[in-house]
Structure 1
Amino acid sequence: MKNVGEAREVPERAPQEELATGERSTRNRVARSILDHGPSTVADLAGRLGLTQAAVRRHLDALVQENVVEGREKRVYGARTRGRPAKVFALTDCGRDAFDQSYDKLAADAMRWIALTHGEAAVAEFARARIAEQAEAYRAAIEAAPPERRTDALAKALTADGYAATARSAPVGEQLCQHHCPVAHVAEQYPQLCEAETEIFSALLGTHVQRLATIAHGDGVCTTYIPKAAPQPAGSADNTADSTGGTDIAENTANTSASTAGRNPA
């Protein structure tokens, strides 16, 4: 992560400067933890980083002033419980950019050229072809995992591609959470990227999935709901796996989960 607002280094640091450098290092760890795990409470960060809650608040206050993180009310799915919702801290766009060397403008210009020259359908076709190529590694990871661990295997494969993904239990299913999106800024303009990704998840896991939230839509994390799979007839798993290879996946998943892919239904 870039050190926002860090003073220029001199050959020899005074003790106060050494202290400031240590503070910045810890502050970067706080921001990195939010990137890897998504919007987090003070207690979450203190537990993960081995810091006191008072120390975490001090670093968060500094990061808020630098526009690296922002505080927000924790989103509650389902019925609310009594009491005030916990406050969580999420990365701002500025904070996310600090972790990237981005080629967003170049990518957006290329997408715009495709749309103007060949039409919106060509943008969707490109998005499917792009994710289909990535999906080869995801398919291999999923096929090597037992059925009950396939979502977790997909999360690990996505993390290897820079999406900082995790899988967790949800009522009657699971949630796949991507805490980072390398193409979020481009996907804001071209949601076909999110839609193609959702389609590929459905094909790889062999079930309808529902996109609940996306970073491109302004949410803190991309969240995909995966219902508990129903028992399949013998041989159906092999057919699903075969359908994810090469360019076939773009054709076989064109209409899967399209009604909710890439957009927060809220």
Structure 2
Amino acid sequence: MEIPSQSLAPGATGVVDGHDRPTRERVARSILDNGPSTAAVLAQRLGLTPAAVRRHLDQMIEDGTLESREARSVGARGRGRPARAFALTETGRDRFDQAYDDLAVQAMRFLAETGGDAAVRAFAERRASQIERRFADLSEEHPELVATEALARVLSEDGYAAAVRDVPVGEQLCQQHCPVSHVAHEFPQLCEAETEAIGRMLGRHVQRLATIAHGDGVCTTCIPSAPGTTGAGSRTTTGSTTAPQGKEIVT
């Protein structure tokens, strides 16, 4: 059962005229796909003026779609006010998925009531196996892709906005969005089966550190370095670059 993400529902962001709504949907989608972003980065990414972006950001904070936090910085900070990054709130995330959540939860409850936990687990494993098949197909079609990059691409195609970052102990899979988070909150078997599938696809024991379904901002999975390697790998990921020793520099 696929639960597609969708654009913000009409009227979901308060009083928004027909001209502003598409732009605010673009702002929200950009943050969903790329993670917390500053106004300057959003302006450049979307081809808007900083003043226009800030106007939309102010309204989206007011209506509860976004929240502001201090942006992560690298190195010494200069004078002046620290940059602010804007992130989707739980309410903001909900607006991408709310259409089918109730139906999906009801269907899963019916499955649990009629088939028990074994049926729920079987469904979760079947869903995860579909990701594995597509991962295998993509890896065969594009052998030049690193396994973790192929996995992130497959997950992103399913609406997870996934990216892989280098960290000192190996790699970290970050899923900025979870199209089934409301269902997974009640049925953690979905997360468990997905984590096990990630381990099988990468041939390593992975550890889920955080999940959106349980209130975290990002689904984060630790992928330790493969045996015989040390530190992090090297790659270019969307929204970040990698410094020596696997230190992440967020741009």
TM-score relative to the length of structure 2: 0.73
Does residue 36 (structure 1) correspond to residue 33 (structure 2)? The answer is: yes
Q: Is contact 1:166–1:176 with CA below 8 Å preserved after alignment?
A: yes
Tell me which residue corresponds to 2:92. Answer: 95
Tell me which residue corresponds to 1:55. Answer: 52
Identity rate, percent: 57
Q: 1:156 Cα deviation (Å)?
A: 1.1
Unpaired runs of 5+ residues, structure 2, are: 1-6, 230-251
- Closer, same or farther in 2 for the Cα pair 1:156/1:101, shift >3 Å? same
Pairwise mapping of residues 166-177 of structure 1 onto structure 2 (< 5 A)?
166-177=163-174
Q: 1:190 Cα deviation (Å)?
A: 1.1
- Closer, same or farther in 2 for the Cα pair 1:211/1:81, shift >3 Å? farther
Does residue 27 (structure 1) correspond to residue 24 (structure 2)? The answer is: yes
Pairwise mapping of residues 150-161 of structure 1 onto structure 2 (< 5 A)?
150-161=147-158
**Residue identity opposite 2:148 in structure 1:** T
Pairwise mapping of residues 94-243 of structure 1 onto structure 2 (< 5 A)?
94-100=91-97, 102-146=99-143, 149-231=146-228
Q: Is contact 1:152–1:167 with CA below 8 Å preserved after alignment?
A: yes
Partners of 1:210 and 1:47 in 2: how far apart? 35
Per-residue CA deviation, residues 175-219 of structure 1 (Å, 9 max, x unaligned), is 222222111111111111111111101101111112122111112
Partners of 1:227 and 1:153 in 2: how far apart? 17
Partners of 2:69 and 2:90 in 1: how far apart? 14
Pairwise mapping of residues 235-254 of structure 1 onto structure 2 (< 5 A)?
none
**Residue identity opposite 1:47 in structure 2:** Q
**Residue identity opposite 1:96 in structure 2:** R
- Closer, same or farther in 2 for the Cα pair 1:126/1:213, shift >3 Å? same
**Residue identity opposite 2:38 in structure 1:** T
Partners of 2:58 and 2:133 in 1: how far apart? 43
Q: 1:145 Cα deviation (Å)?
A: 4.4
Please report the RMSD computed on the Cα atoms of aligned residues, expressed in angstroms: 3.0
Q: 1:64 aligns with which of 28, 53, 61?
A: 61
Q: Is contact 1:138–1:158 with CA below 8 Å preserved after alignment?
A: no
Partners of 1:52 and 1:212 in 2: how far apart? 37
TM-score relative to the length of structure 1: 0.69
Per-residue CA deviation, residues 84-112 of structure 1 (Å, 9 max, x unaligned), is 98643222333223334632222212222
Q: Is contact 1:71–1:89 with CA below 8 Å preserved after alignment?
A: yes
What secondary structure, in the 3-state scheme, does the structure 1 residue paired with 2:226 have?
coil
Per-residue CA deviation, residues 135-177 of structure 1 (Å, 9 max, x unaligned), is 2112222344458711111111112222222222222322222
| Number of equivalent positions | 217
Unpaired runs of 5+ residues, structure 1, are: 8-19, 233-266
- Closer, same or farther in 2 for the Cα pair 1:212/1:46, shift >3 Å? farther
What secondary structure, in the 3-state scheme, does the structure 2 residue paired with 1:99 have?
helix
Per-residue CA deviation, residues 44-68 of structure 1 (Å, 9 max, x unaligned), is 3233224444433321110112222
- Closer, same or farther in 2 for the Cα pair 1:227/1:142, shift >3 Å? farther
- Closer, same or farther in 2 for the Cα pair 1:151/1:202, shift >3 Å? same
Larger radius of gyration: 1
Partners of 2:62 and 2:27 in 1: how far apart? 14
What secondary structure, in the 3-state scheme, does the structure 1 residue paired with 2:87 have?
strand
What secondary structure, in the 3-state scheme, does the structure 2 residue paired with 1:224 have?
strand
**Residue identity opposite 2:68 in structure 1:** G
What secondary structure, in the 3-state scheme, does the structure 2 residue paired with 1:88 have?
strand
- Closer, same or farther in 2 for the Cα pair 1:207/1:86, shift >3 Å? farther
